Amino acid sequence: MTVASPFSDFRYLTSNTIRPLTLLPAYSSKSALTVCVLANANSSCNNIRNNINISNHSAVTSLPSSLPPSSAASVCTPPTFSISPPTPTPSVLESNRLQSTINNNNNNNNNNNNHNHNNNNHNNNSDNGKPSSTSSFTTSFDPSILLQDRECDLAFYQKFFLNQPHSNFVAAQSAQGPIVVSIAIDRKGCVRILVRTTQGSERIEHPSSTLSIPWHRKILLGGFFNSGNSPSHHLWVLSQLCPEIPIESLEPCHHRDLPRELERMEERQVIRSYKFGVIMLLPGQTLEYQGLTNTKESCTPEFLDFLNWLGEPVQLQGWKGYRAGLDVIGNTTGETSVYTNWNGYQIMYHCAPLMPFNPKDHHQVERRRFIGNDIVVIVFKEDDDDEQFDLSSVGSRQNHIICIVRPIPGETPAHPKSYRVQVAVKDGIRNFSPLHFPTILQRDDASRDLFLLKLICGERAAYRAKAFATQLSRTRESLLRDVIEAHQ
């Protein structure tokens, strides 16, 4: 008898009624995806638009922030989608490609296309095993919707502060811990502030015309809002726009190397590599450990086809890309894995069936060492039936997002291959964009974009969970202290 794990406290994301959508007017011609939209039966088009709109603050955040949201517009504008009616996309015999790769690991000459890391080759490329697109709908993908807060902070700082007149203030000791604040006022009187604390960053843009400046201060300052104003002027602006900051603890820092060091600090916090676990459940299997015991010989064509939808099979020995902890020298973690470079993000999948199997180990500790340390785990359940995956069987404290994927049988030209997707999250993780699951995704490039976006946003949402927030806060505190101590 399997005992439920005391660590499992998952819940399914709020499910809505699935309603097919045929057409919705485009918001922007630059960014387009084809999606299955979930809405209540009586939802209006406005509600549907709200469901698929992505907020930079709630959906793609990489670090928590306790600061109040800025009233000013962010430099990272929320993206928009245009939605077109889905049309059939034929599937290619991709399962044969992965099966051949598994069975012929020593034949490198036949796998050159499988080593291509450029995600642009997914579309209209039958040589690499992806389906040849015959769809008439738009599948262009705007990578700006993937910008996480740290990337927005970096772009904000590089554009408006680096190599521009600005002031930096630091506080090594304060009620909020170490703080670094950058402030600039341009010639048009726009005040821009970047506040960095252990809990995250806040970007502020505020017109100077709305500031309440006493008449005597206007006389003393003269051309206050022109370029070249002094740090004391900036400090006064901070006291007006950021009352939550302990102004009395801030000190101006004029070290010439500080701006570049702040840029490097922001770059170090940008996450561009992700690792996702993948396990397969055969018919009748409902527990995590059962999925960890399945071998590569038991991989079904449907599962192999799904892996090829996720990415490309790669030979691990000699692999030069992101390896996610896998052995690329001695094949101790398997000979083959699945990888993709998607919109500048490297993703390596820890595929349990492709890892070495130990028949004497009931718990498959070596496989669990990787899958159990992944924040996001994909569970591919072979049968699309009412038999549910037992979430209580998940025993890792690290697993926070479980994405359950079921292939929908009955593929026809009118009903192309598709997947039923359901997402469960641990308590403490809020719903995250771009979709409210469960839903149905077609096996095409546009739905793949949406699926990978969901996984990445899910991991970023998990960073706010208690298990990670404290650790990230400590890391950020260390970075801030190092910068302050090195430049005081």
pTM for this model (two decimals): 0.69
The answer to whether residues 263 and 353 belong to one domain is no
Is-contact 31 53, C-beta < 8 A? no
The answer to whether residues 374 and 348 belong to one domain is yes
Q: What total number of domains does the chain contain? A: 2
Enclosing domain of residue 119? 10-145+271-473
3-state percent breakdown (helix, strand, coil) of the chain, nearest 5: 30, 20, 50
pLDDT band at residue 386, thresholds of 50, 70 and 90? confident
The answer to whether residues 141 and 195 belong to one domain is no
Is-contact 48 21, C-beta < 8 A? yes
Per-residue pLDDT tens over the stretch 219-251: 555 554 443 467 888 888 898 899 999 999 999
Output the domain CATH number for residue 75: 3.40.50.11210
Tokens at residue 380, please? 């591919």
Q: Residue 23: inside a domain, yes or no?
A: yes
How high does pLDDT run on average in the chain? 73
CA distance 91 to 89: 6
Give how far the C-alpha of residue 289 lies from the chain's centroid of Cα atoms, to the nearest Å: 27
Output the domain CATH number for residue 237: 3.30.1120.160
Contacts of residue 400, defined as CB under 8 A and 6 or more positions apart, other chains included, come to 375, 376, 425, 426, 429, 458, 462, 465, 467
pLDDT of residue 410: 76
The answer to whether residues 357 and 282 belong to one domain is yes
* Confidence check: pLDDT of 341 > 50: yes
Give the pLDDT mean for 311-324: 97
Measured CA angle at 122 (ends 120, 124), to 5 deg? 100
The answer to whether residues 283 and 401 belong to one domain is yes
Is-contact 198 178, C-beta < 8 A? yes
